[in-house]
Amino acid sequence: MNDVSPSRKFASKPRSLLERLTDLISPGPDSRSELLEVLQDAHNRNLIDADSLSMIEGVFQVTDLCARDIMVPRAQIDAINIAHSPETFIPFVLEKEHSRYPVYESNRDHVIGILLAKDLLRFYAEEDFDVRGMLRPAVFIPESKPLNVLLRDFRVNRNHIAMVVDEYGGIAGLITIEDVLEQIVGDIEDEYDFEEEEDNIIGSPDGRCRVRALTEIVQFNKFFGTQYSDEEVDTIGGLITHRFARVPHRGETVRIDNLIFEVLRSDARQVHMLLVRRTPQTAPSETERH
């Protein structure tokens, strides 16, 4: 006699962690918003810690971002000209300390491959060393490619870097698997992190600026000609958080005097990146939600 009940007999096997995470990012915006509120409440009641909440929010954030949002801009890409000899560019490689370098021919829009720094060791062991023969295939993606799709492609293809191209086929930027993972786990110290103070504020031709949230208010005031006080907070990210009276979410904006601040990256603990643009007229500061 079989004493196993039908309900147990046909019970489905436990779902994997990946399946459960997939369920989290599948619902529409309304369900997702409600779920985040539940998770925030769980954090407030000490049921989950801040790091766990931050990573879960990062998973949701990845589904809303595209390559354009987090790529290393074209002007900051450290690339190698195939026409140069190894003796010429090896000092450059040692100075920059990256693990991978785009290699171009003729001009920077014509990337012909990716050179791994470790492959340059063969230069000292092989008399017939050929840089072109050492190149790995370059991957090209559009600026609009969603990060969740890109992360899957990185994993499936075992690739770590992709060149981002604009609508005209020119190189717009560069993105790595670490750039994507940082949206989930937070900042990872790597070769593309900001190293110089002048990199805290990066302007674009349309007049908008990407501003690192850790930029000190003194530097921000000097660049934008503002007079924000640093008595209560030291950084522009701290000023924005103080204005919201909480950590703002990606996409939220606040207007202070004649500047509009849009949150590009944030997690449960702090703001990471802002987009700043000027508004023609000076108006009372206000906070907007999207």
**pLDDT tens digits, one per residue of 229-274:** 988 899 999 999 999 988 888 778 999 999 999 988 776 677 888 9
Which of 36, 67, 98 corresponds to the end of one domain? 67
User: What pTM did the predictor assign?
Assistant: 0.56
Residue 235 lies in domain: 195-288
- How far apart, in Å, do the first and last CA atoms of the chain sit? 61
Lowest mean pLDDT among 53-57, 132-136, 249-253: 53-57
Quote the number of domains for the chain: 3
Which of 119, 153, 185 corresponds to the end of one domain? 185
Closest CA to 111 of 74, 150, 61, 159: 74
85 and 178 part of one domain: yes
Q: Is residue 190 part of a domain?
A: no
Q: How far is 108 from 74, CA to CA, in rounded Å? A: 9
* Helix (H) and strand (E) counts in the chain: 11, 13
Task: Give pLDDT tens digits for 84-123.
Answer: 988 899 999 888 888 899 999 999 999 999 999 999 888 8
DSSP 168: T
Task: Give pLDDT tens digits for 210-219.
Answer: 898 989 999 9
> Are 254 and 277 in contact, with CB atoms under 8 Å apart?
no
Q: Domain holding 155: CATH number?
A: 3.10.580.10
Reading phi first (left if > 0) and then psi (alpha if -120 to 50, else beta), residue 262 is in beta
Q: Is residue 5 part of a domain?
A: no
